[in-house]
Structure 1
Amino acid sequence: MSNFYSRIPAIGSTLGTVFALTVATPLVVSLIAKFTLGGNKSAVPYAETYIHNSDTIVVPIPFITAITPEDKTFTSRAWFAGTAHTEVSTYSQIFFYSPKYKRYLAVISFIGGYNVTRRGVGKDAWKEDLEKQRLGIIYESKSISAYINKTQWQDPTYGTKDNPMPIFFKRALSGFECAGGVEDYIYIKPSVYKKFVELYLAHGLEPAEFDRLYGTDMRRLGLKD
């Protein structure tokens, strides 16, 4: 009997190791892969500064035929405990020309479980990726509010057909007056906006372009050697 009790700590340690390898580890790696791994990882710490130096604009939405969507997939891979873990996501851009601002704009979005809501109840409940509906929401909106980064907004190289100005959806301002239960679709939470900025800096901007725009500020803030 004494031998049995003396082995309890060892058993507990073994179970803890199994849990870490089979449950905790995949969860941790999944979170890391979604938000930091892949692309230009060194740009991610700048997200809060990018957001702080941003503003909100109101954007009228043109007719459907004037809107062009473009999707690109990217993957992130990490090795942990000898196991490769890969995440596949979609970088979505919704392009159109804005007569109000006399420049091309691109609504930035990411599909891959970054903006989800729970649907249904009980055993029939599921998680819906709201960004899969973002293009439809843009189509239906007469106008939206969106976040813009001031540095890019003031840079003359942004806003052309070849290099549209990136904007981040904030809220649909009209077009849904009679709809019910669509708040999740027509409003982006600040936490989701931050995730999108992190992903955009890592996967939407080329490292050389990021350094041109924000490298000096990164060094000033001590975020880059």
Structure 2
Amino acid sequence: LFSQYHKHIAIVSFSDIDLDSKIKYDLDEERRSHIYNYQATIIAYANTIQWNDAKYGMKDLPMPIFVIKSTHLYNNTKKIECLSFHNAEKVSPEATRQYVEQYLAHFLPEDEFDRLFKGRKK
């Protein structure tokens, strides 16, 4: 799908947010490892305003995306049944919300936030 759009992307995630509550294991670290090391196919959220903005998707300003789920490994050749006993292939809605909050609060400059979102109808 991304090759159709020719966009550079950046996976936004943060350590110590999505934890296995029983053993305090960082699921996001494992998830990132599988994406990078096993060429995982992912489903992700992308902000449509940024997606349609020509400013985003360039090498110097990649399109930020938030992983929802990994579905396959090795360039879509092996279906994921379960990455681990931690169920790290799925991101909880609570973790996704926190990733978005962290990105907006600490990484998206205020003037860029205003440019993208101020004055838009909900």
Q: TM-score, normalised by structure 1?
A: 0.47
> Could you list the per-position Cα deviations for residues 161-204 of structure 1 after superposition, in whole angstroms to 9, with x for gaps in the alignment?
00000000011111263656446311011111111111110012
> Could you list the per-position Cα deviations for residues 4-35 of structure 1 after superposition, in whole angstroms to 9, with x for gaps in the alignment?
xxxxxxxxxxxxxxxxxxxxxxxxxxxxxxxx
Partners of 1:177 and 1:193 in 2: how far apart? 20
- 3-state SS, counterpart of residue 72 of structure 2: coil
Q: 5+ unaligned residues in a row in structure 2: which ranges? A: 74-78
Matched with 1:168 is 66
Matched with 1:148 is 46
Matched with 2:76 is none
Partners of 1:208 and 1:177 in 2: how far apart? 40
The structure where strand makes up a greater share of residues is 1
Partners of 2:103 and 2:25 in 1: how far apart? 22
How do 1:95-114 and structure 2 match up within 5 A?
98-111=2-15, 113-114=16-17
Matched with 1:194 is 97
- 3-state SS, counterpart of residue 54 of structure 2: coil
Query: Computing the radius of gyration over CA atoms, which structure comes out larger, 1 or 2?
Result: 1
> Could you list the per-position Cα deviations for residues 63-85 of structure 1 after superposition, in whole angstroms to 9, with x for gaps in the alignment?
xxxxxxxxxxxxxxxxxxxxxxx
Distance 1:195 1:180, change over 3 A: closer
- 3-state SS, counterpart of residue 106 of structure 1: strand
Partners of 1:174 and 1:108 in 2: how far apart? 20
How do 1:1-225 and structure 2 match up within 5 A?
98-111=2-15, 113-119=16-22, 126-139=23-36, 140-175=38-73, 177=80, 179=82, 181-182=84-85, 184-217=87-120
Q: Deviation above 4 Å: which 4+ runs of structure 1?
A: none
- Measured on the aligned residues, the alpha-carbon RMSD in Å equals 2.1
Partners of 1:163 and 1:192 in 2: how far apart? 24
Distance 1:117 1:161, change over 3 A: same
* Relative contact order, higher structure (CA 8 A, sep 6+): 2
* Alignment-mate amino acid for residue 174 of structure 1: H
Distance 1:187 1:178, change over 3 A: closer
Distance 1:180 1:190, change over 3 A: closer
Identity score, percent: 34
* Alignment-mate amino acid for residue 96 of structure 2: Y
